[in-house]
Structure 1
Amino acid sequence: MTSLKDATVLVTGANGGLGTALVDAALRRGARHVYAAARNPKEWGDERVTPLQLDLTDPDSIERAAAQAGDVTVLINNAAVFPRGDLLTAPVQDVREAVDANLLGPILVVRAFAPGLLAAKGALVNIGSVLSWFAVGKAHSVSKAGLWMATNAFRLELAPQGVHVLGVYPGPIDTPMQPGDDRSGMSRPADIAAATYDALEAGEFELIPDAMAAKVHGALSQPVTALYPALAAG
């Protein structure tokens, strides 16, 4: 179990809807200090929060952030990008950026912060998605599926050394990343942040916080047509 009380937390993608909720919820639960990391960090107006420049597609930026925030005890990989094009037709650069930002970047962040997490017997939280298991997100799904497996692999490496690893796999969240005007059925960022910290404090390995994610996850053991019924019609 990992308590947020007196923890030093780093949240990537802290400017976004879920990132902001994770920062706020960590403070409410008694975190001593939060590094709010973003490509273009903002001021928070709270002495407990330190804005931190971190670009997941830039290995040098990651190393600089780790040098500035070596006291992190809870690392939350939350930042992500979501290109909308198809794998066959989208610009290759969009696909590359998704893999760099959503998979390779978080791996490099964990590697950079691992010494501090190991010393503190801390925790790693990777924010995945229902699209880790559902291909409709195209390049985003590919990158998030990779993050799902990387999270499992990190758990096997870090758990024996005392670092807890939690993977979080929500369905749609009401944030600017979600297109369209219909927000019905989406989770609130504050609810996902609270559930994430509840799961972390309870020592859980995975959090599947909503009905959509549970349904998709449950279909993984079934034939592929359970997730993609259109294939059966062919």
Structure 2
Amino acid sequence: MEESEGRLSKLVAVIACIAMTLFYVSILYAPTLILRLPPPQSYENFMIRRFICAAVCSVASVIFCAFVLPITGGEASYSFGVYGIRSDHFAPVTEELVFRACMIPLLLCGGFKAYNVIFLCPTFFSLAHLNHMMEIYSRHNYSLLKASLVVGLQLGYTVIFGSYASFLFIRTGNIVGPLVAHAFCNYMGLPVLFVHRKGLVSIAFVAGMVSFVWLLFPITWPDLYNESTNNCRCWQGYCSWNK
């Protein structure tokens, strides 16, 4: 494998992509051609086989990329360690399913307005993090005041992010947006405000905030994420912000 400054060569990258493409397609026919299993008796069994094959291919592709990509030891230990799996994979999926995909429809159908749900749902989300108080207080031997300050800060940015994630879910009608945002925020962590290059960092922060506000509504337009919203009896009423 050729590498230049810790990066893959173009040839290796293209060959790897072609190999994964061929593997993804060919494994769909593996049960019949390679394992010699009888043809599925129903369309449901046929789709189940394809689901399993696609899942196997996805896992194999991730493992393949882990060996091919120039990942450092520190990155690998974090990404594949217990903490990395919890923060970047398990927590975003489970929390978004419970606190967004389940709670928001309940609140909307319960008669709450969309704007109220955006700020109400994160309250439940933040309260679920109160258990960290006992963990910090007992395991790290923090004083009660220090543990309260740490958890208070965590609850603060949890409410802010929860409001944004709720906005994404209500606006787009799709759980993928909040899930990706959750995983990205967990991976990046809080912004580092005190660095040596203050000028460059300040410009980046300002540019990021301006771009975020400017693009917030255009890139979350409901019609971009739904085939049709005009005939929807429930969701269109919420994502159009008329209720």
Give TM-score, length-normalised by structure 1.
0.24
Structure richer in helix, relative to its length: 2
Give TM-score, length-normalised by structure 2.
0.24
Bigger CA radius of gyration: 2
Structure richer in strand, relative to its length: 1
